[in-house]
Structure 1
Amino acid sequence: MSKKNAKLHALDGAEMTAEGLSFKGTILEPVVEQCEGCERAIEFDSKNYCPSYAQPAKKWSHGVCNFATHARAGVDKEGKVKVNPLKASKRAARGR
């Protein structure tokens, strides 16, 4: 199946309700500004929705969305690479 057909079928069975877009028993919210450019976003009734996560604003509230195809989460605000503190302590103990 090609990517174009996969996108068409990603929201197959979704319907617009008074609360929002209903898909598989979940209400999907429209994507936020940070999601623009993501390959996962699918247009439905002139609005873009993410079939991977129902509330895109919450995914972006703590940094970069892990589903985003257009952004990376490797660097924090100071420009340093994020390192797991447990792994860092083990490396220090080994002398690396």
Structure 2
Amino acid sequence: MNKPNAKKAKKVQKGSLAEAKMTEAGLEYKGMIMEPVVEKCEGCDRMVEAEGGSYCPSYAQPAKKWASGVCNFATHVRATVDKEGKVKINPLKASKRAARGR
């Protein structure tokens, strides 16, 4: 059976800021004011050029993500390695893995 032709939705690439509009307060995207990326974000694959500046579509305030250490959205930063040469993991996850026998 043939379905009637439905209107095709306009495809927007995930992570793009195509629907963003520049306002007096800044770049507005889905009701949030997006702040420009900080220097630590340079090299990240998530950065998008929009309205003459670079913005992060994953987080509206990139400076706050970097304030407590490394941004968890950053694609250009590797996990930290402690003094013993092992990657730091969450103790709760480690205990669950040990309980499962991994």
Matched residue, 1:27: 33
User: Could you list the per-position Cα deviations for residues 40-78 of structure 1 after superposition, in whole angstroms to 9, with x for gaps in the alignment?
Assistant: 1011122100000000001111111111111123336x6
C-alpha distance in structure 2 between counterparts of 1:62 and 1:22, whole Å: 25
Q: Which amino acid aligns with 2:65?
A: K
Q: What is the identity percentage for the equivalent residue pairs of Structure 1 and Structure 2? A: 62
CA contact (8 A) 2:79 2:87 kept: no
C-alpha distance in structure 2 between counterparts of 1:40 and 1:84, whole Å: 25
Matched residue, 1:17: 23
CA contact (8 A) 1:20 1:29 kept: yes
Whichever structure has more helix as a proportion of its residues is 1
Question: How far does residue 85 in structure 1 lie from its aligned partner after superposition?
Answer: 3.6
TM-score scaled by length of structure 1: 0.72
Query: When the two structures are aligned, how many residues end up with a matched partner?
Result: 86
Structure 2 residues not aligned, in runs of 5+: 1-11
TM-score scaled by length of structure 2: 0.68
Match of 2:56 among 43, 50, 53: 50
RMSD (Å), alpha carbons: 2.8
CA contact (8 A) 1:63 1:73 kept: no
Matched residue, 2:47: 41
Matched residue, 1:82: 88
Q: Which amino acid aligns with 2:30?
A: K
